[in-house]
Structure 1
Amino acid sequence: MVSGCGNGDTLERFDGPTMGSRYSIQYVSHRATPRPNAVQAEVESILADVDRQFSTYRSDSDIERFNALPADSCQVMPAAVLELVRVGEQLSVQSDGAFDLTVEPLLNLWGFGPQSRGEQVPSAEALAQARQRVGHGHLRIEGDRLCKDAAVEVDFNSIAAGYAVDRIAARLQALGIDSYLAEATGELKAVGRKPDGSPWRVALEEPRDDRQVAERVIDVDGYGVSTSGDYRRYFEQDGARYSHTFDAHTGAPVLHNLASVTVIHPSALMADGLSTLLLILGPERGWDYAEKHGIGVFFVMRDGNRFVTRTNDAFERISGAKNQR
């Protein structure tokens, strides 16, 4: 779908499936810009590359071949995989170990992972066994090899989509496209403006599991935006709600009232990872972390049957946020 305007610029759009979800690209095309089918081919090549390296849902991906190895093993890895392992280590250290890329055994045990056998609250014994295979400290990088001293399994789902968006953004820029909104599985980055001069606008959803409601609408230019929440994948048992967001310290889903976190950051990769990290830390520790590090955040907390929102100065300054209510 395209729409034109008087100055010769055209708004191009295309989308498609990726990573078990969807991606979408909007960009302003000039006379010298490659044809839309060529741009789409470039984008889908990047997404296929990311899937081949990071997917935990295909046994032939680089990371799943590593995950299948026993303890005390090493495997040569693409530079991109090693880069994201280092990002994961940084986020793990900064959260005192609450954020961790090696929680896949816990995800599987509770019913949220690619090898899960149904949602359940595991026994204390099963949980203790799984936690022996969790911990970023079991990973190390030796040259171009990723090594492990325990049978850990790495899951990049908390940062891979943001990484993909950053790669797509860089490729669009290299193709001479300087105004675009690139989105993959909900992670996005927007730069520039539409042909009519209006900003790229992003709606932030209220964290409801029954219907989609826009909580806020923000203007975005030059930033990545990521929202992490507990409302898409969860189950309830004996009156308790268990989501797919895990605290590696406890080996269990987080149980606080922070329902969703939106982060706005120059890097979509870092926005993706930080939104997860802050959701794990919760409404108080997460807020303090964001303030300490100057991260623009939008928090939505559950308060009985309603939601309460909180934003910081960094978020308001960057986004030009507008209340939709």
Structure 2
Amino acid sequence: MRIDKPSKKNNIEDYFGAMGTDISLEINLDKKISKKRESELKQEVRDIFTRNEGIFSRFQRDSELSKMNRKLGVKTEASQAMIEVLLLCEKFNQISKGYFDPRVLENLKKIGYKKDFRKNYPTATAKGTELCKVTGKLADDLRIFPNERKILIKKEVDTTGIVKGYTIDLVKKFLFDKGIENFIIDAGGDMFAQGLNSRNSKWKIGIEGLEDNSMMLAISGMGIATSGISRKRWTIGGKTFHHLINPKKPNEFACDLKTVTVIDEKAVEADGRAKSLFLMGKERGLKFANEHKIKALFLDYKGNIYVSEKIKKHVL
């Protein structure tokens, strides 16, 4: 997903890596600030991503998530951030009627996705094992005790599906609290755009997967997230795999859709909905988006674009 962003003398820009993806920050300022102030802002944004990566990474053995997944059936203490994200996982599971489900981690491991994709390309799958359909209610395997700040899980979970959006919303709040009114934060295609760009117009976002900017989306005060398989797709033994596993039909790796993009008031809401709609497929997903008034855009591998009614006002 590309950003149309004219440069300006007083802009602050920063680029770094976190959560297995590339992060970019642009702040559009009316007045120039000191180098010290600029450095502090950049560092705090980086720290927010670093802290959450240390909580939610399934590739770091000492992350809170990894430790939690090693204590199945045991009631354990959890950070406030973990509680909030797990509650969001429950919410998206209910809203999507089970298409969003954090209990797919075992299947991800079986198809070879055990390490950071950018550093370790999957080369082998578990032999002689079929992927398991996720069954039963999520609430039976994931119990959350917010008042006690504790959780109990019976199956391993993966919160990756919404952590980038959740973290972007934290960055948004941080910048709001600092009185910054015009900015965009991009974490691998998941974004929040606030205020105006340096041309005093809404931020223009390209559609990830399109070869040109023949269609763009204009947003302000909104989060936007894209879910797709272009970046994390691999072939082993003649069979194609990708990281978006359908919990209802885990052995079917549909490759008809290229990306699904969703706009919402919060980046995490866009994140969860984009993944849910992708897993539903084009027809079911588009129908669901219209029924639930979701701003969604579907792009298939033939270059065809399908849009929900609510997103049309953002299309350029």
Counterpart of 2:292, as a letter, is H
Counterpart residue number, 1:104: 105
* CA displacement at 1:215 relative to structure 2: 5.4
CA RMSD of aligned residues (A): 2.6
Counterpart of 1:87, as a letter, is L
Counterpart pick for 1:307 among 294, 303, 313: 303
Unaligned runs of 5+ in 1: 5-9
* CA displacement at 1:122 relative to structure 2: 5.5
TM-score (norm 2): 0.87
Distance 1:135 1:72 in 2: 14
Aligned residues: 303
Does 2:174 match 1:171? yes
Q: Secondary structure at the match of 2:207?
A: strand
Say which structure, 1 or 2, has more relative contact order (CA 8 Å, 6+ apart): 2
Counterpart residue number, 2:15: 15
* CA displacement at 1:134 relative to structure 2: 10
Counterpart residue number, 2:3: none
Judge conservation of contact 2:240–2:253 (CA < 8 Å) in 1.
no
Q: Secondary structure at the match of 2:11?
A: strand
Counterpart of 1:29, as a letter, is L
Q: Deviations over 1:25-84 (max 9, x none)?
A: 111224496721111011012111111111111111111110112x32121111111111
Greater fraction of residues in strand: 1
Distance 2:223 2:114 in 1: 26
* CA displacement at 1:269 relative to structure 2: 0.4
Distance 2:48 2:99 in 1: 30
Distance 1:234 1:215 in 2: 25
Distance 1:238 1:292 in 2: 40
Q: Secondary structure at the match of 2:12?
A: strand
Distance 1:189 1:258 in 2: 24
Counterpart residue number, 2:131: 127
Unaligned runs of 5+ in 2: 1-5
Q: Secondary structure at the match of 1:24?
A: strand
Distance 1:198 1:132 in 2: 47
Distance 2:140 2:32 in 1: 49
* CA displacement at 1:250 relative to structure 2: 2.4
Judge conservation of contact 2:59–2:114 (CA < 8 Å) in 1.
no
Counterpart residue number, 2:78: 77
Judge conservation of contact 2:130–2:251 (CA < 8 Å) in 1.
no
Does 2:133 match 1:137? no
Distance 2:127 2:295 in 1: 36
Does 2:185 match 1:186? no
Q: Deviations over 1:90-134 (max 9, x none)?
A: 1112222221112111001012233997343863x4534x86899
Distance 1:53 1:133 in 2: 27
Judge conservation of contact 1:231–1:259 (CA < 8 Å) in 2.
yes
Moved over 6 A (4+): none
Counterpart pick for 1:197 among 190, 200, 223: 200
Judge conservation of contact 2:101–2:247 (CA < 8 Å) in 1.
yes
Counterpart residue number, 2:266: 267
Counterpart of 1:230, as a letter, is I
TM-score (norm 1): 0.85
Distance 1:134 1:186 in 2: 31
